[in-house]
Structure 1
Amino acid sequence: MTRTLVGGGGRPGTLPPQVIAILTAELPSLAGEIVEEVRRSVPEYARQAGMSAPAAYQVTVEQAIAAFLDQFSGGGDSYARRDELCRELGRSEAYQGRTLDALQAAYRVGVQVAWRRVASVARERRLPAEVMTRLAEALFAYIDELASLSVEGYLEVRSSADELPGDHRRLLRMVLNPGAASGALAEAAAAAGWAVPDTVTMVAMPSGARCVREAMDGDVLVNLADAEPHLLIPGGYGPERAAMLNRALPERRSAVGLTVPLGEAADSLRWARRALALVEAGCLEDGGPTLCERHLLELWLLSDGPLLDQLARRELGALVAMPRTRRMRMTETLVAWLDAQGNAVEAANRLRLHPQTVRYRMRQISATFDRQLADPAARFVLDAVLRAYRLRERRPALK
């Protein structure tokens, strides 16, 4: 893309170094002000779903402002990072299923905030009118260029999504709709030339995930335009499908649901989305595609956070009053003892302690948890609550 921002076919000219230094000093606070004003002024971004990662947006704004100032200083020969960030904004709008109106409104708000700041600084520092004119012309032309880059990213995703025929999109919606009639699904599948499978495996992807459609098997149904992108793999998830997914999803983060009968596809997708949320929360490790079949216990234990909190208050309430250090010590000892099925020697090996130390601690713990430890059903609940908290918090069971 050309870098002509002001008439004349070249750079917008240079500015005195002291002017560039003055404007550069405004960059961090200006970027934050732009992001906040966009969130305040544009309804789509005022909602959490509209701007789920404010820090990422601020980085984009900072990069754009820095690149703008570089043009005046003679630096910034490479615009690759800035260009990609702007295109990613456009892609994000497309992935969220929105039009470009919100993003274009955000650009308008951004340039207004930027110009107000420049004008204020110019008045305070008494910058020459010639400098102000040059900055104004360059700034408004620059915003047009950034908006064009975002449009490129938006159209890139939309054209990719459009590669999926309309009848395939309808098929995917029908499969995920438990109320869809089997006859209607069979008829739609025949019209699309899609063989109805007995079983399916759903895959959940994060918002904004890149997908290489050319690398996807022809029988896979994909929805990239949804706020929560997903795809359907006919049949199971074996090595060949895994290799395909790795090629088709370069960023690798995704969650693969269980292979289920066709009528239970919505359940497979729900579990996959839950697993993906646990990865993003740090409860499950992000090792490329996360397979639900390897994390069934975690998905079950963490399926209802508020209920888990209620159980913790009932089962572990006695630990709350303890000092933090003692609470951590008692908790890790109890977990090891339960894992070792009451064998103090094995629990000591897990904790790298002397067995007598474990027995001493367990005598203290038994005074508090005597009922739970004596009753098999209560002991199971206690064990489940401790395991769930260890997974969810990735730190001692109680904070």
Structure 2
Amino acid sequence: MAQTTSDPPWLSLPTEVSDLIRPRVGDIVEAIIEGIPRDVPVYAMPMEGRFGEGVRRGVSIALGRFLDLPGTRLPALSDDGKWVYEGLGRGEVRSGRSLESLLAAYRYGARVVFRAISRTVDVSRMPPEVLLSLGESLFAYIDELSAASAQGYAHEQSERAGEQQRLRGELLETLLRGDATEAAVARSAAGIGWVLPETVAVAIVPFPHVEGLRAALGPDVLVAERGTDVVVVAPLATSSDRALLHRALRGRHAIVGPARPWVDAAESLQLATSASAHGLATTASSATLPSPEVAGPQGASKPSPAATSSKDAKDADGARSGARTGGPLWVDEHLADLVVHAEPLATADLARRRLAPFESLRPAVRARLAETLLAWLRHQGQRAPIADELFVHSQTVGYRVAQLRELLGDDLDDPQARFELELVLRAGHR
């Protein structure tokens, strides 16, 4: 029979090989089942119950199918056979074993079959090309079994990862709704191996910036799609937690709500959402992190134990540096801005009154003086930090402040007027 390169190697095997082996199938199956626990230690267990039945069935089907192949162009596995070996691969995932253990068992079975054929057939009288085809056929057949099991193994892993992610998403939603009992939340968390942290922060990340987010955050952080954003629930008990979260969210235009006990996670989300709605994320590039401190349950800061470890201090320093280069916006650093934006109509009225002296100025001059005024109010009139913030010479600061005094007069010395001016300028009015 003419054979092409696309034909399976068993096409050239004489059917007599199968005829000679069939009477010994039962013995060969038993030899394989007895030897697997010795050759593959992970299977060193009684071959009984569902496990034993599965192994016996797999070996019997594999050997029976192999003996049907000589002299044919049949595929290595029938549809039913492929299903069986995919199932064995899935079973390895469920049992917590590696795929390599199963593949080693397949290789052991192939050796037993080859030895059985060698004892049954006078190999010395077998034509070399037949012996070569026998070896190639066994290798090719085991490769097909292995491929089917690898596919089943991968599918099971993927499905389990998807199910795990679904459960993590459900837990995130439960935390954010805040309508479940503590016991129910604890059970859900335990079911996915997530340790409930005492304190969490909820972050919002826009969809265009979520690539690689889960890998960056790690398994201790819950991540799920929610509307047009991805929402993150992260432990936030120490400055180290804060720095790690900052690094993972850097460059993603994220908004991080204040720290809260996990039972109040919805409050953290509410404040992050409000900050997003009021456009506070545009100030993220100027956000800074506090010195190594721990965010308390209600967003207040308190010194960390022993003034934090040196590692925590390094993490916090790195996070502060990242903030200066455009890191995420931390709402607890912009609470005053959030309050200012809460009543935009009232703020607009106040701005028209307090900034009335600026009306006659050209837009460019008005913007420059308003920027200087805000820096002057923020730094309590200290020229050096004002100059640093505005990237100008201190003499330029003095010149601009003199202009402001001409415009505003005694208002610059009135505490109430200064407060209202800073309020409207922080709200973005110019």
Please tell me whether Structure 1 or Structure 2 has the larger radius of gyration of its CA atoms.
2
